[in-house]
Every structure is written in C-alpha cells, then in structure tokens.
Copies of this chain bind each other. A is one copy, B any other.
Amino acid sequence: MDTHTSYRYEQLADLIVGMIDKGALAPGARLPSVRAVSEQHSISISTALQAYRLLEDRGVLVARPQSGFYVAAARRGALALPSTARPRTKASTVSISGAVAALLEHASNSKLVPLGCAVPDAALLQSKRLDLALARAARQHGTRYNAYCPAQGEPGLRREIAKRAMRIGHALSPDDVLITAGCTEALTLALTAVAQRGDTIAIESPTYVGLLHTLEVLGLKAFELPTNPTRGIEVGALERLLETEPVAACVLSSCFNNPLGSAMAEADKRALLAVLARHAVPLIEDDVYGDIYFGRERPKPFIALDGGANTIYCSSFSKSLAPGYRIGWIAAGAYAQQVMERKLAFSLCGPALPQVALADFLASGTYDTHLRSIRRIFEDNLARMTCAIEASFPPETKVSRPAGGFVLWLELPRRFDSRELFDQALEHGICFAPGDVFSAGRRFRNCLRLSAGHLWSKQVEDGIRQLGRLAKEMLAR
C-alpha cells in the first residue's frame, strides 16, 4: 500500500468525520455507495472501501450487509460509558412491588412522551400480515381450534420455531419447544422448575424490572452480579459467589441486557457456562432482544454454546413483532418435564388461534425481512436519542452504547435523584424508567433508562431535550 493511497483514504475518512461532527451526516444516515463515492472523489473503489472500513473499525460507521454503510449510533469519545456497578455482596430479598404495574400504566397513557416502557411501537411492528393470518384462522378454522390446544403448544408453531433455531446456532426439534404466555411465563416456569422459595438466584445488575418482580412474588432472593455496560457480567464475580454460597440458578440475558444493552463475548459465555456446570447450577437465559442486533451476526445464545446441557432458553415475539399476542417459548432441555407439569398446573395451555396465525406468518418467510427493517429503525432511533442526550443532558452524563435492543441507560453524578426527575417529568408529560427499579436493592437511583422503541418524532426528541434540561437544573441546584 503506497503513501499516496493511504493519504487518499485517510483524507476521505477525515472528511466524513467532519461532516458527522458538523451534523451534515446524522447518526443513522446512509452514506453514498462505495461506487458513488469513488466517482465523486475520483478515487478507486478499493480506496473508498478502505476509508469506509477504517471508519467502521473506529466505530464511526456501521456496515449493513446488502445495504451499505451508515453513520453509527454513538460516536466514540462523545459521552462516557456508565460504570460497572459494584452491588452488595450478599443475596437480598426483592421488593419492587408496584413498579411494574406503575410502568405499564404510564405506558398505556398515550398522553405521555413514551420513553418509559421497553415495548416496541405498534406502528413500527408492521403486524398487518400477522393480523390477517389471525383473521383467516378464526374465519376458516375457528371450530376446529375451539378445544384445548396441547399444553406444549400448537405443533405447527413449534415446528416453525424449531426451524428458526438454526438462526441461533442450536438445533431444536418441535418437541423441545413449549409455547408460553410471553417470556414472562417462560421465566416463571423455568424458575419454579429449578428453585424453591428462599433460594438465591444470581442475576445481572442492573437487570429487567419484570424479572425482579417475578423473583419477589416467587419468594426468591437475588444476588446481583456486577455487569459491565458493554461486556456483560464478570465471570470471576459469579465464580466467587458459587464458591461461597448455594445458588439455585443464574438468570442472564442471552445478549443486549435490558437496560444496559451489553453483550458478553462468546469466550466469556463459554467460561461462564464452564463455571456453572462445575457447580451444577442451571442457567436460565432470556433472549427476547436477540433478534435485534446491530452487528454483522446474531450473537449466539448460551444454549448454542453448551448444546443445552445446562441451559433453559426463554424467548418471545414481544420485542420484535407482537407484544399484543403474548406468545413466547421455552426450550427447557433436562427440565422439560418439570416445565411441562408447571405449564399444565398454572395455565393448562395457551389460546390456539393466535398460535396458528403466528405459525402461518412465520411459514410465509417475511419475518426476516421485517427483522432487518426494525433492526435499522431501532439502531437509528438509538443514534438519534444519543445525539439528543449529548446535546441536552449535563456533560457528566454517561450513556450506554447498546449492541442491540432499543433502550439506553444513563448514569448521572451520585447526587442526582432520578425519582425526583421522574416526578418532574410526569408533570411535563414525559415518562421514563427511573434507575432504582432495575435493582433488587433499589440501587441506581442516579441512573435512568430511556426506551427508543417508538417511532421517532419531534415529540420524542423534544421530550428527551426537556428531560436533559430538567436534569441540568437539578444538578445546578
């Protein structure tokens, strides 16, 4: 490679960074094609590609297969990343009663700027084809399906889910799958199959508020593991825990932990599985965000790395297609029998027609096209949201850089009180999730989670800027 060529591609790269800094290229914006840019700048295609690849390596651009290069969500060097929490080193009972109900209530209030609930906007989900499949199933086969469906779920849907399992890198047969009422029921079945009241469950910190609520109602204790905002939980911390006290199970996100958006490296996942296997502690993984990845490949869930030997896999269609349908699933491996007994005992079986409709929709093959589209939308939303935060929040604000999903985690200085901001925000017609609901011990009071699951709009952008101003005022006092 000669110096002249180096100069050319670096020059182009600098030009692009300059355009981004000046706002001429917004986060999420698509760059001209390699061919187009080579013609515009009279350089070779390989030189243009080299510039794009350099910026991709620096995290400034993101490449999307069959689509091109886009300005990345968050440019490195803007706001700092949140710190890894150091939770208390003992298991605690959970007490977040009311938090889930309150969040859902605010979420259903269409007068609020919807930054609170991690529910994708129906306008983005394009569920029309699925709804038409349901209408067709109801009209044509209503009588046939007006009976108890098998407790495991409709065979047709289990077949489609098993077919899709190649995408997560793990072979499943339809008999390995049990259909649930969303991932929430899957987690409940898994937890009750492996743990009893009073047992300790190791979890990420911060973690999904719904998981904490389920632990609380089941009378399970939570041990919060330090979780890095990009790399996920620290395997060493888990190892030290297992060496000192009995743990009934570990519950982790497969990837894109809610609220951090962190994703463990495959090597760390393997190390973690080895530690768990050594102590005979089962892993329950929650993969609801797995299909919403921004990288080149879908990260492998744990079940694909241990062959399901010690893993109970839970997922759903709620984050990527149909929260209203309440369809999730579980592949419980060695615990399949216990999970099935619990499904029968707690809810007998799910409704048949929505399952028939979803099977029909999945068989049509349009789900992957849909996923490609919403991945981009969520990535763009996160980029815009990050920009709005940079422009309006206090400069000490740290913000997560998710590798998937559609939420952002913000950390403000210690003295900041997100509960106070929450009350003020509601008065301004804005809803978000205060940080303390993401921890069994109600930590993270100086943090907050914003959801970018809604159609981007001036209302959403103004809401974020208003939040930023309020936060600045609070810190200035």
Chain A residues within CB distance 8 Å of chain B: 97, 100-101, 104-105, 107-108, 117, 119, 122-123, 125, 127-128, 130-132, 134-136, 138-139, 142-151, 180-182, 184-185, 188, 192, 196-197, 210, 213-214, 216-219, 318, 322-327, 340-342, 344-354, 357
Contact in complex: A128, B143 (CB < 8 Å): yes
Contact in complex: B324, A353 (CB < 8 Å): yes
Contact in complex: A131, B142 (CB < 8 Å): yes
Contact in complex: A324, B134 (CB < 8 Å): no
Contact in complex: A125, B104 (CB < 8 Å): no
Interface residue from B130, B184, B345 paired with A217 (Cβ < 8 Å): B345
> How many angstroms from the CA of A347 to the CA of B108 in the assembled complex?
18
Chain B contacts for A188, CB-based, 8 A = 345-347
> How many angstroms from the CA of A383 to the CA of B435 in the assembled complex?
64
Q: Can you name the residue of chain B whose Cβ is closest to the Cβ of A322? A: B146
Tell me what chain A mostly uses at the interface: helix, strand, loop, or mixed.
helix
Contact in complex: A145, B341 (CB < 8 Å): no
Question: Smallest distance from the beta carbon of A107 to chain B beta carbons, Å?
Answer: 7
With A132-B138, A196-B197, A351-B351 known, 14 other A-B pairs at CB within 8 A are A101-B151, A131-B139, A131-B146, A134-B134, A134-B138, A135-B135, A181-B348, A182-B348, A188-B347, A216-B345, A217-B346, A324-B352, A324-B353, A326-B351
> Would you list 15 pairs from A and B whose C-beta atoms are within 8 A, ordered by A residue?
A101-B341, A104-B151, A107-B147, A122-B144, A127-B142, A135-B138, A138-B138, A146-B322, A148-B324, A149-B324, A181-B181, A181-B347, A185-B348, A188-B345, A353-B354
Contact in complex: B146, A125 (CB < 8 Å): yes
Interface residue from B101, B192, B323 paired with A147 (Cβ < 8 Å): B323
> How many angstroms from the CA of A83 to the CA of B10 in the assembled complex?
93
Q: Can you name the residue of chain B whose Cβ is closest to the Cβ of A349? A: B326
Contact in complex: A326, B350 (CB < 8 Å): yes
Q: Can you name the residue of chain B whose Cβ is closest to the Cβ of A193? A: B217
Contact in complex: A142, B130 (CB < 8 Å): yes
Contacts known (A104-B151, A139-B131, A196-B197); A146 close to B345, Cβ less than 8 A: no
Contacts known (A132-B138, A217-B341); A323 close to B119, Cβ less than 8 A: no
> How many angstroms from the CA of A213 to the CA of B340 in the assembled complex?
12
Chain B contacts for A105, CB-based, 8 A = 150
Interface hub of A218, A324, A325 (most chain B Cβ within 10 A)? A324
Interface residue from B134, B196, B351 paired with A142 (Cβ < 8 Å): B134
Q: Can you name the residue of chain B whose Cβ is closest to the Cβ of A216? A: B345
> How many angstroms from the CA of A196 to the CA of B105 in the assembled complex?
29
Question: Smallest distance from the beta carbon of A27 to chain B beta carbons, Å?
Answer: 27
Chain B contacts for A131, CB-based, 8 A = 138-139, 142-143, 146, 353
> How many angstroms from the CA of A123 to the CA of B322 in the assembled complex?
31
Enumerate the 4 nearest inter-chain pairs by beta-carbon distance, A residue then B residue, closest first: A131-B142, A217-B345, A135-B135, A146-B324
Q: Can you name the residue of chain B whose Cβ is closest to the Cβ of A130? A: B142
Contacts known (A131-B142, A138-B131); A347 close to B347, Cβ less than 8 A: yes
> How many angstroms from the CA of A185 to the CA of B349 in the assembled complex?
10
